[in-house]
Structure 1
Amino acid sequence: MHYLIKQFIPPIFKTLYWFSFKYGWKGDYESFDAANKHAKGYNAQEILEKIKETTRKVVSGEVAYERDGIVYDTPKMNFSMLSTLLMVAAKQNNKLTVLDFGGSLGTTYNHKRNYLQSLSQLQWCIVEQPNYVEAGRKEFEHERLHFYYSLEECLQYHQPDIIIFSGVIQYIEKTYELLDQIRMSGVKYLYIDYIAFNDEDRDRIAIQHVPPEFYGTPASYTCWFYSKPKFYQYMKQHFNLVYDFIADPDKYYIQLKPFNYEGQLWELKSN
């Protein structure tokens, strides 16, 4: 009977339960500091330990893919990102250096590495929080995969062809200051996906509450819902929009207000 009842419940009710009523995105805070007083943050040690565990399984070949502490037998392919990486590499004589901002312990690298085997040279650099950098250098770093504490440190050793923000940029408090640093670095391409926008003409600060299924414990962290006109206005001053896209066709909700995750590829304007 329970199974039959579930079949008659529209999917939207399950989505609203998980991502609006119980978990998901809530609040409208004046500042990151105000929201951080109520959020646990991404740097909690138990989250790192869960991600170390799932990353080990990917590296050993036990599972095909991990993301946010969950393992998958069949990874979902991000064709937009893969085609972009191959396009950029083709323009660099089949060589590619990636700066993966907030790339965990190598989630995206491990997902894409088998599809980039034909490249004559691949360097994948991850900029992360200190405890992730320490764990990455200790256990997962190798001749192609590197971990750095900051954009500035990475640029001392590499000149990236492209910077990736995959489901990351909205968690960075001083987003526009970082984007200023990126445009001044001279990196030609900036790929952003899984970015959410506010449907009002202002940036909104909320807290994302994550179900324990992801990390084995409830988690929460502060995030932006950017004003899309404001964000695009800034970007178009310094970058050309190559293309934009819907990163995830599913609808999500911030307290009953629907949104989609989106993405873009930007190319730095010539001086």
Structure 2
Amino acid sequence: MLHYLWKELAPPLLLNLRWYSFRYGWKGDYKSYEEAQQKCTGYDEEHILNRIIETTLKVKNNEIAYERDGITYDAVQMNFPLLKTLLYIASKNDNELTLIDFGGSLGTTYYQNYPYLKHLKKINWCIIEQPKFVEAGKKHFENEHIKFYPTIAECMAENDPQLFLICNVLQYLEKPYHLLDEVKQLGIPYVMLDFVGYNRKNNDRITIQHVPPVFYGVKASYPCYFLNRARIEDKLCENYEKKYDFISANEKYYVQLEPFRYEGALWELRQ
């Protein structure tokens, strides 16, 4: 009863602080990506990859419903803005869907959405990842729908994608705007940015994200941008028109007491 009363009477700020951690989360405001990286343990360590292989295999073998970042779930956590977009694009292409999932791990988003896409006439889900992930993907997860590539060029040589998906990845790249420069020259009909955290100020902020061991079984940390929304949109607007914005997740998070929500947008190639 006391717990219930506290939830009813506590100010919203206190309730939202459940998403704030003094130990983990996003910390700092660094001058450069390199400066932040020097203070990080990284993401590409062997034990992290092994953890993700283990949990993704459980999804593939129907032992669990869903995994993300090495955590297993009893139910799939749906991303409805993404699913809506995938079905929309497929409907415009005779119920066929070919997409690039840039930084798509070992297929988390593919397995999340496949039950709602398996009626399509064709699905080509192309994941571009780090070399060790590509090696693991080819060994354990490739099938008639999902393929792994180390570079955009190799993927484009074999596929004609309708969508370039960048989901919860852009902010972790050393040069995120270089990727957008490359993508906008490819001529792919749609580009989708999803799970992006934006800086409230008119500049990029470079932080270090400290990840609790519940995710990978060990502590991990890596540089993470909070990007300048206007700069991203100005760059994409040169070749694309924004179709719609959306909130990727309702949860509110904090960068050292500064709140933010993950956001996304779909962009269509200008005719």
Is TM more than 0.5 here?
Answer: yes
Give, in whole Å, the separation in 1 of the partners of 2:236 and 2:188.
14
Is residue 241 of structure 1 aligned with residue 242 of structure 2? Answer: yes
TM-score with structure 1 setting the length: 0.94
* Match of residue 34 from structure 2: 33
Give, in whole Å, the separation in 1 of the partners of 2:204 and 2:240.
21
- Structural RMSD (CA): 1.8
Shift in alpha-carbon separation, 1:51–1:2, aligned structure 2, 3 A: farther
* Match of residue 12 from structure 1: 16
Q: Name the amino acid aligned to 2:269.
A: L
> Which deviations, in whole Å up to 9, do the C-alpha atoms of 1:98-122 show, x marking residues without a partner?
1000100000001111110111011
Q: Name the amino acid aligned to 1:229.
A: A
* Match of residue 134 from structure 1: 135
Shift in alpha-carbon separation, 1:2–1:44, aligned structure 2, 3 A: farther
Is residue 176 of structure 1 aligned with residue 183 of structure 2? Answer: no
* Match of residue 154 from structure 2: 153
> Which deviations, in whole Å up to 9, do the C-alpha atoms of 1:94-146 show, x marking residues without a partner?
11101000100000001111110111011000000111001101111112110
2:39 match: secondary structure: coil
Q: Name the amino acid aligned to 2:246.
A: F
Report deviation, 1:178. Answer: 1.2
Give, in whole Å, the separation in 1 of the partners of 2:109 and 2:78.
11
Task: Say if 2:184 and 2:236, in contact at 8 Å, map to a contact too.
Answer: no
Task: Say if 2:101 and 2:166, in contact at 8 Å, map to a contact too.
Answer: yes
* Match of residue 232 from structure 1: 233
Report deviation, 1:12. Answer: 2.5
> Which deviations, in whole Å up to 9, do the C-alpha atoms of 1:45-101 show, x marking residues without a partner?
111011001001101100011000011111121111111101111111111101000
Give, in whole Å, the separation in 2 of the partners of 1:137 and 1:263.
29
* Match of residue 61 from structure 2: 60
2:166 match: secondary structure: strand
Give, in whole Å, the separation in 2 of the partners of 1:183 and 1:3.
51
Report deviation, 1:41. Answer: 1.8
Structure 2 residues not aligned, in runs of 5+: none
* Match of residue 197 from structure 2: 196
Give, in whole Å, the separation in 1 of the partners of 2:58 and 2:165.
24
TM-score with structure 2 setting the length: 0.94
Structure 1 residues not aligned, in runs of 5+: none
Give, in whole Å, the separation in 2 of the partners of 1:266 and 1:56.
33
Report deviation, 1:2. Answer: 10
2:262 match: secondary structure: strand
* Match of residue 105 from structure 1: 106
- The share of aligned pairs that are identical, in percent, is 46
2:113 match: secondary structure: helix
Runs in 1 of length 4+ with deviation above 4 angstroms? 1-9
Report deviation, 1:221. Answer: 1.0
